[in-house]
Structure 1
Amino acid sequence: MRMCLCVGLIVLALGGPAQAETVPAGCDVLTRAVQVTGYALTVPPAGPEAGWCVLDGAALRSEAPGRPDLTADRLRLRGTADDAGLVSIEVDLAGLRVLPKAGDRALDDRLRSLFRLQTAELRFAVAVDPGTDRLDLRDGVLRLSGGTEVIFSAVGKASGLSAVALLGGSLTGLDVVWRNDGRLLRPVMEMLGERLSGGATGGAAVEAARLALRQLVDNLPDAALTEDTRPELEQLVTALPQGRGRLTLSLMVEDGIGASRLLMAGLSDDPLGPKGLALVLQGARLTALWTPGLAP
């Protein structure tokens, strides 16, 4: 008996501490995960449905100027948690509207028009492995009613899904497919060009923004790009803002891009210059493909 007990203790010691049990996350935990600082979340009464936490009709409202309200026709959440917090979460959102406040002049009128004409759908699932700190973001889809679509997935390292854990983590892989509908970006490029040029408007502001994007592409380090990536990105910049098409982007970073690397680049004389981008993309491999047109 004593021998059996000793053997059992040795096995337990070699096996290490037992992993925390993972259980379905409650609606209270999931709801806290989607709350935003500076906003109040209101949710009509509802309950779980087929394993999902139902938050249909949810609204995020803020009294601060320049912060529009957000409403969603459909918001479903589900996930798992252990003693330390959330381990995984899935989001299924539809009918998202951005509602600028009447009379709030802190928001540009062009953005007001964009928000008024667009609704959004968003789906994704993210999970962290507590044993390895591997973070997986999968099945990400963002669709706007005007035709813009972004499909995304990512891999990284993080100790959990809290904001603090994510900020302390790193990105090791990213895949994005972005479809430009040819209508959304003109006002955005106008606003960007106005700030960069200090007075240009309309088409001149768009050209100022295009020039800045071309310079950004030129500043990308050769060591981080596949052979055709820079020409593909140059074609994209030339086509913007009206040019319809699809950009396929893949980024792999063996050591990961984390907050410390971004901070070091941000403290440089020119964060978006050749030296700053070389620091951020050290050890990275970036592949890009621009396909004109909106065919699937």
Structure 2
Amino acid sequence: MWGRAEDTPPQPAADVRAAPRRRGHGLRRVVPVVAVTAALIAAWYLGAAALNWGVVSDARLRAGGPADPWTVLAGTMSHDRPLLPAPHQITAEVWRATVEVAPTSRRSLLYHAGVTLSAALVGLGLGTLGGVLLAVAIAQSRALERILVPWLVASQAIPVLALAPIVIVALGTLGLEGLLPKAIIAAYLCFFPVAISMTKGLGSADPLARDLLRTYSATAAQVFWKLRLPASLPFLFAGLKVAAAASVVGAIVAELPTGAQAGLGARLLAGSYFGQTVQIWAALVAAAVLSASLVGVLAATERLVGRRMGARA
């Protein structure tokens, strides 16, 4: 037996033992992502070669040039108007439209992304405000929940592509143009996930904790602010992440029926009019990066709020 403290065998430091484990855990997380990404890129190149083969082959035959397989294969990777652009073509177009032109130029993806982002953020704010207020009202009344929740679900059955032109035209007759109509379409898509998640979150408070507060003679407002609202925050942030991605979609869809001159939707329209598929895909990549950035900001905010509230990392 080890009877004295000095007789106890030395133990390795916790951080020394945990370091290899952390490195192994990080490697296990990175390798699948890299493998899936590489597989997707390889499949994309194969798809680009297959879809563009006929276009390139016919073009070379009409031009009287060589149409051997290797020449045609090389042409599928560099065609000006491919059916499916190769990843390196999209990357080059994104680089050209973000780095090689001024951010304030109408040829810049940053300029168009900023226009779409402004409408998406306003729509996200409006949708979040409306969703939270409705969720609070529903949480206070079971009858209101039975009345409104079916209508909330039914509202999402209306395709936004059909709704956007109606809203844009109706608001245009009232003299409302520019940012606000696009923000309203974005708010329509943001409203539902925020309202549903917040309603679920406000009802997730521990019943025992609620009973404890009542034994202390806590008012309904105190129960809401001290218990129900903090318990709903994880649900709210989950809904906000969905709403953030939807807000970008709503802003882009709202730009399509108006024939907008700026925004990622306008970039998509211009590419479709002139058959510039590489430009279309570059705008789609910009939209994806914009949505991912908004979700990333919300995820960081969620972690910060969680730490301030004492949540474990």
Higher relative contact order (CA 8 A, sep 6+): 2
Regarding TM over 0.5, the answer is no
More strand by share: 1
Q: For the pair shown, which has the larger CA radius of gyration, 1 or 2?
A: 2
TM-score, length of structure 1 as denominator length: 0.24
More helix by share: 2
